[in-house]
Chains A and B, each alone.
Chain A
Amino acid sequence: MPNQNGSVYGLTILSPIIDDEKATPSHDLQIRSYLARLSTREDSPFAQAPGTHLARLVVMDDVIYVGAPAHEEHLKSKYLIFESNLDCGPDGDLDGYLDRLAAAIPEHLDAIWQHCVGYPGAANRQAFIRYMKACQLDTTFFFAAVNDKTVPETLRALQTQSAVADFIATHQGTDPAELQRDFVQFAARLRSQPPPRPGSIGPSRDIKTGGRNE
Protein backbone atom coordinates (compact mmCIF):
# COMPACT_ATOMS: atom_id res chain seq x y z
CA MET A 1 0.00 0.00 0.00
CA PRO A 2 0.96 3.62 -0.24
CA ASN A 3 4.39 4.36 1.15
CA GLN A 4 4.61 6.79 -1.72
CA ASN A 5 2.51 9.83 -2.60
CA GLY A 6 3.60 11.43 -5.87
CA SER A 7 7.37 11.75 -5.68
CA VAL A 8 7.46 11.82 -1.86
CA TYR A 9 8.06 8.67 0.19
CA GLY A 10 6.74 8.14 3.71
CA LEU A 11 9.37 6.02 5.43
CA THR A 12 8.44 4.47 8.79
CA ILE A 13 11.08 2.46 10.62
CA LEU A 14 10.78 0.79 14.03
CA SER A 15 14.12 -0.46 15.32
CA PRO A 16 14.05 -2.54 18.51
CA ILE A 17 16.34 -1.03 21.16
CA ILE A 18 18.78 -3.29 22.98
CA ASP A 19 17.43 -4.32 26.36
CA ASP A 20 20.44 -4.81 28.59
CA GLU A 21 19.88 -4.40 32.30
CA LYS A 22 23.63 -4.07 32.85
CA ALA A 23 23.91 -1.06 30.55
CA THR A 24 24.21 2.21 32.44
CA PRO A 25 22.63 4.41 31.35
CA SER A 26 20.16 2.25 29.46
CA HIS A 27 20.37 2.18 25.67
CA ASP A 28 17.12 4.09 25.18
CA LEU A 29 18.38 6.83 27.46
CA GLN A 30 21.67 6.99 25.57
CA ILE A 31 19.73 7.50 22.32
CA ARG A 32 17.65 10.24 23.92
CA SER A 33 20.74 11.95 25.32
CA TYR A 34 22.42 11.94 21.92
CA LEU A 35 19.31 13.27 20.14
CA ALA A 36 18.91 16.02 22.72
CA ARG A 37 22.30 17.42 21.72
CA LEU A 38 21.76 17.15 17.97
CA SER A 39 21.16 20.36 16.01
CA THR A 40 17.80 20.73 14.30
CA ARG A 41 18.94 23.57 12.02
CA GLU A 42 21.16 23.76 8.94
CA ASP A 43 23.91 21.78 10.65
CA SER A 44 21.48 18.96 11.40
CA PRO A 45 22.59 15.59 10.03
CA PHE A 46 19.36 15.44 8.04
CA ALA A 47 20.21 18.74 6.35
CA GLN A 48 23.35 17.04 5.05
CA ALA A 49 21.42 13.98 3.88
CA PRO A 50 19.91 14.99 0.55
CA GLY A 51 16.17 14.83 0.02
CA THR A 52 14.74 14.89 3.55
CA HIS A 53 11.72 17.23 3.84
CA LEU A 54 10.84 16.45 7.45
CA ALA A 55 12.06 13.71 9.75
CA ARG A 56 11.65 12.70 13.36
CA LEU A 57 13.21 10.25 15.78
CA VAL A 58 11.17 9.01 18.68
CA VAL A 59 11.84 6.49 21.40
CA MET A 60 8.61 4.57 21.91
CA ASP A 61 8.73 3.17 25.43
CA ASP A 62 5.60 1.08 25.26
CA VAL A 63 2.12 0.87 23.81
CA ILE A 64 -0.49 2.92 25.63
CA TYR A 65 -3.20 1.52 27.85
CA VAL A 66 -6.43 3.39 27.18
CA GLY A 67 -8.23 2.18 30.30
CA ALA A 68 -10.79 -0.47 31.26
CA PRO A 69 -12.43 -2.46 29.78
CA ALA A 70 -9.52 -2.57 27.30
CA HIS A 71 -6.93 -5.25 27.91
CA GLU A 72 -3.67 -3.95 29.39
CA GLU A 73 -0.56 -5.19 27.61
CA HIS A 74 3.05 -4.14 27.18
CA LEU A 75 5.81 -4.34 24.60
CA LYS A 76 8.80 -6.54 25.30
CA SER A 77 11.15 -4.07 23.57
CA LYS A 78 11.39 -0.33 23.31
CA TYR A 79 11.54 0.90 19.73
CA LEU A 80 13.32 3.73 17.99
CA ILE A 81 10.92 5.23 15.46
CA PHE A 82 12.38 6.94 12.42
CA GLU A 83 9.74 8.78 10.42
CA SER A 84 10.97 10.52 7.28
CA ASN A 85 9.26 12.30 4.40
CA LEU A 86 11.72 12.14 1.56
CA ASP A 87 12.24 12.67 -2.15
CA CYS A 88 12.16 9.35 -3.93
CA GLY A 89 11.47 10.33 -7.54
CA PRO A 90 8.66 8.74 -9.54
CA ASP A 91 10.14 5.25 -9.07
CA GLY A 92 10.08 5.30 -5.25
CA ASP A 93 13.83 4.87 -4.89
CA LEU A 94 14.16 4.09 -1.17
CA ASP A 95 17.47 2.26 -1.53
CA GLY A 96 19.02 5.37 -3.08
CA TYR A 97 17.89 7.51 -0.15
CA LEU A 98 19.20 5.07 2.45
CA ASP A 99 22.46 4.78 0.56
CA ARG A 100 22.89 8.59 0.48
CA LEU A 101 21.98 8.75 4.16
CA ALA A 102 24.69 6.21 5.02
CA ALA A 103 27.21 8.07 2.86
CA ALA A 104 26.43 11.52 4.26
CA ILE A 105 26.09 10.94 8.01
CA PRO A 106 27.49 7.52 8.95
CA GLU A 107 28.83 8.68 12.32
CA HIS A 108 25.43 10.01 13.42
CA LEU A 109 23.61 6.91 12.24
CA ASP A 110 26.06 4.70 14.08
CA ALA A 111 25.87 6.82 17.24
CA ILE A 112 22.08 6.51 17.29
CA TRP A 113 21.43 3.02 15.93
CA GLN A 114 24.30 1.27 17.72
CA HIS A 115 21.82 0.97 20.58
CA CYS A 116 19.43 -1.05 18.43
CA VAL A 117 19.28 -4.82 18.06
CA GLY A 118 21.12 -6.19 15.02
CA TYR A 119 22.38 -2.86 13.66
CA PRO A 120 25.26 -3.64 11.28
CA GLY A 121 26.77 -0.13 11.01
CA ALA A 122 26.58 2.34 8.13
CA ALA A 123 29.96 1.41 6.67
CA ASN A 124 28.55 -1.73 5.10
CA ARG A 125 25.99 -0.03 2.88
CA GLN A 126 24.20 -3.14 1.65
CA ALA A 127 23.87 -4.50 5.19
CA PHE A 128 22.69 -1.09 6.39
CA ILE A 129 20.00 -0.90 3.70
CA ARG A 130 18.90 -4.48 4.42
CA TYR A 131 18.68 -3.70 8.14
CA MET A 132 16.63 -0.53 7.65
CA LYS A 133 14.24 -2.29 5.32
CA ALA A 134 13.88 -5.19 7.76
CA CYS A 135 12.72 -2.65 10.34
CA GLN A 136 10.40 -0.82 7.94
CA LEU A 137 6.63 -0.80 8.37
CA ASP A 138 4.41 -0.21 5.39
CA THR A 139 2.44 3.00 5.59
CA THR A 140 -1.29 2.38 5.35
CA PHE A 141 -2.25 5.91 4.29
CA PHE A 142 0.15 8.71 3.44
CA PHE A 143 -0.89 12.32 2.93
CA ALA A 144 1.41 14.97 1.45
CA ALA A 145 0.18 18.55 0.95
CA VAL A 146 2.76 19.03 -1.82
CA ASN A 147 3.77 15.75 -3.42
CA ASP A 148 5.58 16.71 -6.62
CA LYS A 149 8.41 19.01 -5.49
CA THR A 150 11.86 18.14 -4.20
CA VAL A 151 13.52 19.76 -1.20
CA PRO A 152 15.80 21.98 -3.38
CA GLU A 153 12.80 23.02 -5.50
CA THR A 154 10.86 24.02 -2.41
CA LEU A 155 13.78 25.92 -0.90
CA ARG A 156 14.33 27.75 -4.18
CA ALA A 157 10.63 28.59 -4.46
CA LEU A 158 10.62 30.04 -0.94
CA GLN A 159 13.67 32.11 -1.83
CA THR A 160 11.98 33.33 -5.02
CA GLN A 161 8.77 34.15 -3.19
CA SER A 162 10.58 36.38 -0.74
CA ALA A 163 12.70 38.09 -3.41
CA VAL A 164 9.71 38.67 -5.70
CA ALA A 165 7.79 40.35 -2.87
CA ASP A 166 10.70 42.76 -2.40
CA PHE A 167 11.03 43.38 -6.12
CA ILE A 168 7.35 44.20 -6.53
CA ALA A 169 7.39 46.51 -3.52
CA THR A 170 10.34 48.49 -4.82
CA HIS A 171 9.15 48.75 -8.42
CA GLN A 172 5.71 50.22 -8.08
CA GLY A 173 5.10 52.92 -10.72
CA THR A 174 8.38 52.21 -12.53
CA ASP A 175 8.26 52.98 -16.26
CA PRO A 176 8.07 49.94 -18.59
CA ALA A 177 11.61 50.06 -20.04
CA GLU A 178 13.28 50.39 -16.64
CA LEU A 179 10.99 47.76 -15.15
CA GLN A 180 11.89 45.30 -17.89
CA ARG A 181 15.64 45.97 -17.57
CA ASP A 182 15.55 45.60 -13.78
CA PHE A 183 13.45 42.45 -13.97
CA VAL A 184 15.77 40.74 -16.45
CA GLN A 185 18.74 41.52 -14.19
CA PHE A 186 16.81 40.43 -11.11
CA ALA A 187 15.79 37.12 -12.73
CA ALA A 188 19.38 36.40 -13.80
CA ARG A 189 20.69 37.20 -10.31
CA LEU A 190 18.10 34.99 -8.68
CA ARG A 191 18.84 32.11 -11.04
CA SER A 192 22.55 32.28 -10.29
CA GLN A 193 22.05 32.14 -6.52
CA PRO A 194 22.21 28.70 -4.91
CA PRO A 195 19.04 27.67 -3.09
CA PRO A 196 19.13 28.21 0.68
CA ARG A 197 20.62 25.36 2.69
CA PRO A 198 18.07 22.93 4.12
CA GLY A 199 17.02 23.88 7.62
CA SER A 200 18.33 27.41 7.20
CA ILE A 201 15.44 29.62 6.17
CA GLY A 202 14.70 32.43 8.57
CA PRO A 203 16.31 33.52 11.81
CA SER A 204 17.36 31.01 14.42
CA ARG A 205 15.15 30.55 17.42
CA ASP A 206 16.88 30.28 20.72
CA ILE A 207 13.84 29.01 22.50
CA LYS A 208 12.13 25.82 21.57
CA THR A 209 9.17 24.62 23.48
CA GLY A 210 7.04 21.54 23.24
CA GLY A 211 4.09 20.15 25.01
CA ARG A 212 0.75 18.79 24.23
CA ASN A 213 -1.29 21.65 25.58
CA GLU A 214 0.29 24.49 23.68
Chain B
Amino acid sequence: MSNINGKVYAMNAITPMRRWKTWILRLAFFVLWHVKSLQKDLIDLSFIEFARWVVVRRGSFPNLEGGQLKEDLEYDYLLFFSNFNGTWNQYIDAFSAVLSGGLNLIWRWSEKFPGSVPVTLFKEYIARVQFDTDYYYTSYPQATANDVKSAHIVQSSFDNLALKAEQQSPQQFADAYLHFVIQVQAHLGETGEAPVAG
Protein backbone atom coordinates (compact mmCIF):
# COMPACT_ATOMS: atom_id res chain seq x y z
CA MET B 1 0.00 0.00 0.00
CA SER B 2 1.18 3.47 -0.75
CA ASN B 3 -0.86 6.63 -0.89
CA ILE B 4 2.25 8.55 -1.97
CA ASN B 5 4.33 8.57 -5.11
CA GLY B 6 7.03 11.25 -5.25
CA LYS B 7 5.27 14.53 -4.56
CA VAL B 8 1.71 13.34 -5.08
CA TYR B 9 -0.73 11.88 -2.55
CA ALA B 10 -3.67 9.73 -3.64
CA MET B 11 -6.76 10.17 -1.52
CA ASN B 12 -9.86 7.97 -1.79
CA ALA B 13 -13.03 8.62 0.16
CA ILE B 14 -16.58 7.29 0.09
CA THR B 15 -19.59 8.74 1.86
CA PRO B 16 -23.23 7.59 1.99
CA MET B 17 -26.03 9.92 0.88
CA ARG B 18 -29.78 9.64 1.09
CA ARG B 19 -31.19 9.14 -2.39
CA TRP B 20 -33.22 12.33 -2.60
CA LYS B 21 -30.17 14.40 -1.72
CA THR B 22 -28.17 13.03 -4.63
CA TRP B 23 -30.11 15.17 -7.07
CA ILE B 24 -29.29 18.35 -5.17
CA LEU B 25 -25.61 17.43 -5.26
CA ARG B 26 -25.79 16.70 -8.99
CA LEU B 27 -27.33 20.12 -9.53
CA ALA B 28 -24.55 21.74 -7.46
CA PHE B 29 -21.90 20.00 -9.57
CA PHE B 30 -23.72 20.98 -12.75
CA VAL B 31 -23.59 24.65 -11.73
CA LEU B 32 -19.95 24.34 -10.60
CA TRP B 33 -19.01 22.78 -13.94
CA HIS B 34 -20.71 25.41 -16.07
CA VAL B 35 -19.91 28.53 -14.03
CA LYS B 36 -16.13 28.50 -14.27
CA SER B 37 -15.70 31.45 -11.91
CA LEU B 38 -16.95 29.21 -9.08
CA GLN B 39 -13.89 26.98 -9.63
CA LYS B 40 -11.51 29.85 -8.88
CA ASP B 41 -10.67 28.79 -5.32
CA LEU B 42 -10.08 25.21 -6.44
CA ILE B 43 -7.68 26.44 -9.12
CA ASP B 44 -6.02 28.96 -6.79
CA LEU B 45 -5.29 26.23 -4.24
CA SER B 46 -2.77 25.11 -6.86
CA PHE B 47 -1.66 21.87 -5.28
CA ILE B 48 -4.30 19.60 -6.79
CA GLU B 49 -3.20 17.92 -10.02
CA PHE B 50 -6.43 16.06 -10.68
CA ALA B 51 -9.55 15.50 -8.57
CA ARG B 52 -12.92 13.95 -9.21
CA TRP B 53 -16.23 13.28 -7.55
CA VAL B 54 -18.36 10.36 -8.69
CA VAL B 55 -21.94 9.92 -7.56
CA VAL B 56 -22.86 6.21 -7.57
CA ARG B 57 -26.59 5.54 -7.44
CA ARG B 58 -27.43 2.63 -5.17
CA GLY B 59 -28.41 0.49 -8.15
CA SER B 60 -25.51 1.55 -10.36
CA PHE B 61 -22.64 -0.47 -8.99
CA PRO B 62 -21.38 -2.48 -11.97
CA ASN B 63 -23.10 -5.85 -12.14
CA LEU B 64 -21.76 -8.47 -14.52
CA GLU B 65 -22.76 -11.94 -15.50
CA GLY B 66 -21.00 -14.76 -13.70
CA GLY B 67 -22.68 -15.20 -10.37
CA GLN B 68 -22.07 -11.73 -8.95
CA LEU B 69 -24.75 -10.87 -6.42
CA LYS B 70 -26.60 -7.64 -7.10
CA GLU B 71 -25.99 -4.92 -4.53
CA ASP B 72 -28.92 -4.13 -2.27
CA LEU B 73 -28.19 -0.72 -0.78
CA GLU B 74 -30.23 1.94 0.89
CA TYR B 75 -27.86 4.81 0.19
CA ASP B 76 -26.33 6.37 -2.89
CA TYR B 77 -22.60 6.95 -2.49
CA LEU B 78 -20.23 9.81 -3.24
CA LEU B 79 -16.74 8.73 -4.25
CA PHE B 80 -13.92 11.26 -4.11
CA PHE B 81 -10.47 10.78 -5.63
CA SER B 82 -7.79 13.43 -5.35
CA ASN B 83 -4.17 13.71 -6.48
CA PHE B 84 -2.56 16.46 -4.46
CA ASN B 85 0.86 17.74 -3.44
CA GLY B 86 1.90 18.02 0.18
CA THR B 87 0.85 16.15 3.25
CA TRP B 88 -2.58 14.94 4.29
CA ASN B 89 -2.77 17.51 7.09
CA GLN B 90 -1.73 20.39 4.85
CA TYR B 91 -4.32 19.37 2.30
CA ILE B 92 -7.20 19.11 4.73
CA ASP B 93 -6.16 22.32 6.51
CA ALA B 94 -6.02 24.23 3.22
CA PHE B 95 -9.29 22.75 2.02
CA SER B 96 -10.99 23.72 5.24
CA ALA B 97 -9.51 27.23 5.31
CA VAL B 98 -9.98 28.19 1.67
CA LEU B 99 -12.82 26.07 0.36
CA SER B 100 -15.09 25.60 3.35
CA GLY B 101 -18.15 26.93 1.53
CA GLY B 102 -17.56 24.72 -1.49
CA LEU B 103 -16.81 21.66 0.62
CA ASN B 104 -19.95 22.12 2.66
CA LEU B 105 -21.96 22.45 -0.55
CA ILE B 106 -20.56 19.11 -1.80
CA TRP B 107 -20.48 17.01 1.37
CA ARG B 108 -23.35 18.41 3.43
CA TRP B 109 -25.61 15.88 1.65
CA SER B 110 -23.52 13.00 3.02
CA GLU B 111 -24.57 11.30 6.23
CA LYS B 112 -23.06 12.70 9.42
CA PHE B 113 -20.89 15.26 7.64
CA PRO B 114 -19.91 17.66 10.44
CA GLY B 115 -19.02 20.66 8.24
CA SER B 116 -15.54 21.65 7.12
CA VAL B 117 -15.10 24.09 10.00
CA PRO B 118 -13.94 23.48 12.71
CA VAL B 119 -11.20 21.48 11.08
CA THR B 120 -10.73 18.93 13.87
CA LEU B 121 -14.13 17.31 13.34
CA PHE B 122 -13.70 17.58 9.59
CA LYS B 123 -10.39 15.69 9.78
CA GLU B 124 -11.96 13.05 11.96
CA TYR B 125 -14.70 12.54 9.37
CA ILE B 126 -12.30 12.39 6.41
CA ALA B 127 -10.09 9.90 8.27
CA ARG B 128 -13.16 7.73 8.84
CA VAL B 129 -14.36 7.70 5.24
CA GLN B 130 -10.94 7.45 3.58
CA PHE B 131 -9.54 4.16 2.29
CA ASP B 132 -6.01 3.41 1.20
CA THR B 133 -4.46 3.10 -2.25
CA ASP B 134 -2.91 -0.22 -3.27
CA TYR B 135 -0.99 1.02 -6.29
CA TYR B 136 -0.19 4.56 -7.36
CA TYR B 137 1.56 5.70 -10.52
CA THR B 138 2.46 9.14 -11.83
CA SER B 139 4.32 10.03 -15.03
CA TYR B 140 6.14 12.88 -13.32
CA PRO B 141 6.65 11.89 -9.68
CA GLN B 142 9.05 14.67 -8.76
CA ALA B 143 6.90 17.54 -10.06
CA THR B 144 4.07 19.33 -8.30
CA ALA B 145 1.05 20.90 -10.00
CA ASN B 146 2.83 24.26 -9.81
CA ASP B 147 6.00 22.77 -11.33
CA VAL B 148 3.96 21.47 -14.26
CA LYS B 149 2.20 24.80 -14.80
CA SER B 150 5.53 26.66 -14.59
CA ALA B 151 7.26 24.22 -16.93
CA HIS B 152 4.65 24.84 -19.63
CA ILE B 153 5.08 28.61 -19.23
CA VAL B 154 8.86 28.20 -19.64
CA GLN B 155 8.40 25.91 -22.64
CA SER B 156 6.09 28.35 -24.39
CA SER B 157 8.41 31.34 -23.82
CA PHE B 158 11.43 29.26 -24.79
CA ASP B 159 9.81 28.16 -28.06
CA ASN B 160 9.00 31.76 -28.94
CA LEU B 161 12.57 32.88 -28.30
CA ALA B 162 14.09 29.93 -30.15
CA LEU B 163 11.89 30.57 -33.17
CA LYS B 164 13.39 34.02 -33.76
CA ALA B 165 16.88 33.53 -32.33
CA GLU B 166 18.71 32.87 -35.56
CA GLN B 167 17.11 35.72 -37.52
CA GLN B 168 17.97 38.44 -35.03
CA SER B 169 21.06 40.57 -34.69
CA PRO B 170 23.10 39.83 -31.53
CA GLN B 171 21.79 42.97 -29.83
CA GLN B 172 18.18 42.22 -30.80
CA PHE B 173 18.64 38.71 -29.46
CA ALA B 174 20.18 39.98 -26.22
CA ASP B 175 17.14 42.23 -25.68
CA ALA B 176 14.73 39.38 -26.46
CA TYR B 177 16.70 37.06 -24.16
CA LEU B 178 16.50 39.57 -21.30
CA HIS B 179 12.75 39.79 -21.84
CA PHE B 180 12.59 35.96 -21.83
CA VAL B 181 14.54 35.73 -18.56
CA ILE B 182 12.20 38.25 -16.94
CA GLN B 183 9.20 36.24 -18.18
CA VAL B 184 10.40 32.88 -16.87
CA GLN B 185 12.46 33.78 -13.81
CA ALA B 186 9.62 33.03 -11.42
CA HIS B 187 9.03 29.64 -13.05
CA LEU B 188 12.43 28.00 -12.81
CA GLY B 189 12.15 26.16 -9.50
CA GLU B 190 14.00 22.86 -9.59
CA THR B 191 12.02 19.64 -9.36
CA GLY B 192 13.35 16.84 -7.22
CA GLU B 193 12.78 14.87 -4.07
CA ALA B 194 9.85 15.74 -1.87
CA PRO B 195 10.68 16.93 1.63
CA VAL B 196 10.16 14.29 4.27
CA ALA B 197 7.05 14.93 6.30
CA GLY B 198 7.81 15.04 9.97
**A residues apposed to B, CB below 8 Å:** 1-2, 8, 10, 12, 14-16, 18-19, 31-32, 35-36, 38, 40-41, 44, 46-47, 52-61, 63-64, 66-67, 70-71, 73, 75-77, 79, 81, 83, 85, 117-118, 131, 134-146, 149, 151, 153-158, 160-162, 164-165, 168, 175-177, 179-180, 183-184, 187, 191, 198-199, 201-203, 205, 208-214
Contacts and interface: CB of A to CB of B under 8 A. Distances in A.
A187 B163 CA distance: 9
A137 B112 CA distance: 25
Contact of B16 (A47, A63, A179): A63
B52 A142 contact: yes
A40 B139 contact: no
30 contacts: A16-B68, A18-B66, A40-B138, A56-B134, A57-B134, A58-B135, A59-B134, A60-B14, A75-B61, A77-B71, A85-B83, A138-B54, A140-B54, A141-B29, A143-B48, A143-B50, A145-B48, A146-B148, A158-B143, A161-B147, A161-B151, A161-B188, A164-B154, A164-B158, A183-B165, A210-B2, A210-B4, A212-B3, A213-B89, A214-B89
Chain B interface main SS type: mixed
A158 B7 CA distance: 15
Given A76-B69, A146-B145, 19 more contacts: A15-B62, A40-B2, A46-B139, A54-B83, A64-B16, A66-B15, A66-B112, A66-B128, A66-B129, A117-B64, A135-B64, A137-B79, A139-B52, A140-B54, A145-B43, A157-B148, A168-B185, A183-B162, A203-B192
Contacts of B21: none
B170 A10 contact: no
A14 B181 CA distance: 47
A44 B140 CA distance: 12
Contacts of B56: 14, 137
A180 B170 contact: yes
Contacts of A64: 14-16, 128-129, 131
A12 B55 CA distance: 11
A187 B128 CA distance: 52
A38 B135 contact: yes
User: Interface residues of B toward A: which range?
Assistant: 35 or more
B63 interface: yes
B109 interface: no
A27 B7 CA distance: 31
A134 B89 contact: no
A77 B1 CA distance: 21
Contact of B139 (A2, A15, A18, A199): A199
Nearest to B7: A202
A42 B116 CA distance: 38
B173 interface: yes
Interface string B144-171: 0101111110110010011001101011
A58 B132 contact: yes
Contacts of A199: 137-141
